[in-house]
A = this chain, B = another copy of it.
Amino acid sequence: MADEIDVIGIGNALVDVLCHESEAFLDLHGLVKGTMHLVDEARARQIYDAMGPAVEVSGGSAANTIVGVASFGGRAHYVGKVRDDQLGEVFSHDLRATGVGYTTATATSGPATGRCLIVVTPDAQRTMSTYLGASTQLGPGDVDPRLVARGRILYLEGYLFDPPAAQDAFRVAAGLAHAAGRKVALTLSDPFCVDRHRAAFLDLVEHHVDVLLANEAEICSLYQVRDFDAALQRVRRHCEIAALTRSARGSVVVGGGEVHVVDAQPVEAVVDTTGAGDLYAAGFLFGLSRGMSLATCGRLGSLAAAEVISHVGARPVAPLGDLAGALLA
Whether A55 pairs with B57 at a CB distance below 8 angstroms is yes
Q: Which of B48, B94, B98, B112 contacts A93 (CB 8 A)?
A: B48
**A292 CB-CB contact with B under 8 Å:** no
**A266 CB-CB contact with B under 8 Å:** no
**A39 CB-CB contact with B under 8 Å:** no
How many A residues touch B, CB cutoff 8 Å?
A: 23
Task: For residue A91, give the distance in angstroms from its CB to the closest CB of chain B.
Answer: 11
- The interface residues of chain B lying within 8 Å CB-to-CB of A52 are 97-98
- The interface residues of chain B lying within 8 Å CB-to-CB of A53 are 58, 67, 93-94, 97-98, 315
* Copies of this chain assembled into the complex: 2
Which residues of A in the span 56-74 have a Cβ within 8 Å of any Cβ on B?
Answer: 56-58, 67
**A83, closest chain B residue (CB):** B86
Whether B94 pairs with A54 at a CB distance below 8 angstroms is yes
New A-B pairs, 18, CB < 8 Å, besides A53-B67, A86-B112: A48-B93, A49-B93, A51-B93, A53-B94, A53-B97, A53-B98, A54-B90, A54-B93, A54-B94, A54-B97, A55-B55, A55-B57, A56-B56, A56-B57, A56-B90, A85-B86, A86-B87, A86-B113
Contact with B along A152-178 (1 / 0, CB 8 A): 000000000000000000000000000
